[in-house]
Structure 1
């Protein structure tokens, strides 16, 4: 064979490099962007308002509880950070409390249908245009499913791809976003609707186990509907673009697995127990999540500082120095920390060295709406928008925890002008926030 037809090693390396560059470029061009067009959060009517004083009065009038159980719940509510506006389904106002499937179905329809209608109306999207539907609800899993209920009510297409997620805890909202992301990237030019909520009426605990009584005190009525798209033409009217999503599941560890656990008490009464280790478990899960997310979002300077500190620690140079926490306020302008409770928000605020305003959306959401489970991070994002703080180019970090134990986070970039939405659940009272929430309130 003539020498001029032979390729020397340098030529081979160059050709391989060219092929790699072309392949990477093609993969980049094939990347499907995932947009958040808009979202809606449920605002319960005033008739569902159940102030702490009325909640406790109903406990006293209800013969299901002994004095010790009432005293425990009173102590928890005094430190809950709740205001007088949090709401529960009207069945919680009854004395004695009664569990009925009809109450739960009524709760589901009264939350899910209005938020979907509101979202479709303000985005001018027909229900028949939805390609993917996901409902997440941890404790209530009826037959037909919640997705079937939605398809029936809004007369959606028969070929819609529907998914019903249960038992995923308060982090299920981000799990739904992750599922949508994967589906949209394999189904370009599609629309996806997420409904994120929790039904409480069937899961009222009337026993004596303190760790199970916590659920009665912490959770309140709420829900959110989120519309996402992979259609290129939707970029101009979308609010956010999904940039990163990280999921951590520590179910292989028994302590984490049983930290939030549905079980029977000693009297065979069902309830969800929350262990004393839950803050420690949450901190460990968040640390693993940050280890994955950090390199994706932190500037090089922060990553180098963290690496240098880790090396110094291993060499024994700075063992007395406080653990170095990267400055997450550099990549993020806003934070949505799951409003799981005042202690959870405070712990993350301290561990991430956040400022008072960074945790404000979470604290105010907890005060106004309570812990609405997987939808709480959307009330917080709505708060940021209602205050007029969201600007084009800003990045927001959503952090959610759930049974299993899971820590899931999502990073969104604002790609719109950040105009305030007139249908926000904060619309009538955003002017009074933020307010100072006392560490404890005395309930007589």
Structure 2
């Protein structure tokens, strides 16, 4: 008896799926269907015109020369103003991600040995970290900085600078090599690193290393959390709208050498289990000549900030514990707040990217709820109709689970996020670039595919960028997955 309802429900589900698909195609192509008979009527009417009618029309225009000239001037001036003032296309020429050498990998047993003998955690903290690590979704090949392997561990500024140099210079060297762009050609530089902000800044460190030109527009973003990578893209985009024929480089990373927590407060121990070494460098251009070789075109950037809410503001908070140890405390409300931030993105981004069929359904449920006070659930638009690939910040298994549920995604849509968390850990703001590199390495990105990057970070901020592929994208040389992509996807913790 139990099998019959299951079969019926399955049939109903399939029928509903095809019904919705039919509705989507009908609404999406409704204008085209309506235009077909109109075009047919115009063609039929035009076929009845004879040469005498056309000659009379030409004579009418000829004797109204002033009107024709004025109309032509308006068209030319209007076209010129439009071309001069329209937003410039921003192209992503290429990007690279830093791949740590194998000797920096931190196996699970090493993590526990270091925690016990070098970092000196008590028994309760050791057990807590072990449980978190086992359920985290991280694999055995994630990496920490070289200084953290030292015995005894000394988290000095020099060691933190060394970590930053290896990650940033490693990514930039590959970027310049892959794109054949000279450092002197870079006009805009944006660097984001949340927790390590020395003087001189990391952006100045890059200028000094590559001897960038003296009039470069450089920016260094700090304290903006794991969503700062999209903020950096947004800033570079705005700068490229002002400065013609320019290249912009965005460097996004985090530094863990001086930001490991050595206390015993549970909420502050979680980052130890998740955060690992990583970074990415992105080359953007507003040059029309770069369109033929660029991988993507930037379509939208949407930024949301929930910092006005106290609970959201403190859900990821750097502070000192009772013993004076500094760390970042992660609230239990983090995943629910991430879900709320995502709703704000959906409301903002939905009208820009969703097909009209989904917008009508969303609007109908909203009107029903607001005007008629019905108890209908808010309609979650099917973003799979707007995007082909999803790069959700690999902040942790719970965060990925929450967004997968909220967006009603399939396992394949969050595969890049889960595999990035497994292979590289939480690399903060650069994780969305490791995910895009994974999708490229799998050969899944085709021309006109749309990619949705979602960054989540302290503040609380949820930022997203939408890219459109300009061609069938192949992985660039030194892709961080090139030596292991054949092993993925792997089974992670349930």
TM-score by length of 2: 0.83
- Which residues in structure 2 correspond to 1:105-254 (within 5 Å)? 105-254=161-310
Task: Provide the residue aligned with 2:388 in structure 1.
Answer: 333
Task: Provide the residue aligned with 1:432 in structure 2.
Answer: 487
Task: Provide the residue aligned with 2:442 in structure 1.
Answer: 387
- Is residue 409 from structure 1 mapped to residue 470 from structure 2 by the alignment? no
Q: CA deviation at 1:190?
A: 0.6
Q: Deviations over 1:39-65 (max 9, x none)?
A: 000000001011122111111213631
**1: distance between equivalents of 2:212 and 2:102?**
31
Task: Provide the residue aligned with 2:92 in structure 1.
Answer: 36
- Is residue 26 from structure 1 mapped to residue 47 from structure 2 by the alignment? no
Task: Provide the residue aligned with 2:401 in structure 1.
Answer: 346
Q: CA deviation at 1:24?
A: 8.6
- Is residue 422 from structure 1 mapped to residue 487 from structure 2 by the alignment? no
Q: CA deviation at 1:250?
A: 1.2
Q: CA deviation at 1:27?
A: 3.6
Q: CA deviation at 1:29?
A: 5.2
Q: How many aligned positions are there? A: 423
**1: distance between equivalents of 2:129 and 2:152?**
17
RMSD across aligned positions (CA): 1.9
Contact 2:178 2:477 in 1 (8 A): no
Shift in CA distance, 357/63, structure 1 to aligned 2, threshold 3 Å: closer
Unmatched runs of 5 consecutive residues or more in structure 2: 1-69
Structure that is richer in helix per residue: 2
SS state of the match for residue 195, structure 1?
A: strand
**2: distance between equivalents of 1:232 and 1:313?**
47
- Larger deviation, residues 39-48 vs 307-316: 307-316
Match of 1:369 among 405, 424, 427: 424
Shift in CA distance, 421/63, structure 1 to aligned 2, threshold 3 Å: closer
TM-score by length of 1: 0.92
Q: Deviations over 1:245-295 (max 9, x none)?
A: 000011111111111111111111111111111112111111111111000
Contact 1:64 1:207 in 2 (8 A): no
Task: Provide the residue aligned with 2:36 in structure 1.
Answer: none
Match of 1:359 among 414, 421, 424: 414
Shift in CA distance, 214/34, structure 1 to aligned 2, threshold 3 Å: same
Contact 2:366 2:378 in 1 (8 A): no
Task: Provide the residue aligned with 2:366 in structure 1.
Answer: 310
Unmatched runs of 5 consecutive residues or more in structure 1: 1-14, 440-444
Shift in CA distance, 20/65, structure 1 to aligned 2, threshold 3 Å: farther
SS state of the match for residue 148, structure 1?
A: helix
